[in-house]
Structure 1
Amino acid sequence: MSTLGIVSTILACIVALLTIIASLIKYRQQIKDWWGKKTCWRTTLLDHEKRLENVEESVSTINTNLCTLSDDYKENTRESKEYRRSALGDKIFNHTEKYDEQGYITQLQWENYMLCIRRYKDCIPEGDEDYDLILHDCLPLIEALPKRKEHPRNETQYHE
């Protein structure tokens, strides 16, 4: 390269440098504002990341509590079914004795008895139906009783 080429390259670099300096001076305030906003954006971004971490922790806590609540709900449902089963079992057993002493069952009594049996079956865990005292002893006893349309006391009231 010749001397003229080197001098022109150096002059081109100086002109480019002066242009850059002039641009920096001209846009100094805009650059200063941008730099300030960059710091603000960084702070906002860090705050946002902290909020995301807090939300993730909250979601984790909620999921844990939800699992616990679900387990509690299952336990309460199971206990409720056991309570309903024992209450319905007592009711069915008492009515079985009553109808057996009575010697017959009316249609209305039969419908109510079968409603209690259906509700009782809903409370029995799967697999226990084969060994249940109510279903295998009381129900066949009631099914064998003669069925009447109305109670005899009601029939005499209508005929008098």
Structure 2
Amino acid sequence: MLILLVAVNWQVLPASGYVPPSEDLWLSLKTMLMPAFVLGTALAATLMRHTRSAMLGVLKSDYVRTARAKGLAERRVILKHAFRNALTPIVTLTALLFGELIAGAVLTEQIFTIPGFGKLVVDAVFNRDYAVVQGIVLVTAMGFIVMNILADAAYFVLNPRLRKQ
């Protein structure tokens, strides 16, 4: 629907294809705008919904009420006390959404004819190139493991209570 509306009817962006940034930076940005929008909106909606839910839960806690009672500015209460504690489930969700991003890239790259990781796996499956498929699965699994390790490291940065143990 986005291609039909934006590329065909309005003729604002190209419908598909890929132009390297080294050739034409402006055209490269225009060709990547729709695929990035398609991949990002669903993930952003999920993250925003969970962030809102986590913030609403944290804002009702005692330490936020205490910080407000001490006379701290509302901005400092939200950023330093509430948001930092609400980020723990968001970091977990972000690491898990990495797999969804990779899965979405397979379909998005196929639709927008972008020569990327997703298109490579589809072409390898259709050509029965099992070595390439196994390599892609291995690299994807390693990326997922690295994302989870980074999420675990982010817990220590965000939550000072974990550093004392």
Do they superpose with TM above 0.5? no
TM-score, normalising length from structure 1?
0.27
Greater Cα radius of gyration, structure 1 or 2? 1
TM-score, normalising length from structure 2?
0.26
Q: Which has the higher helix share?
A: 1
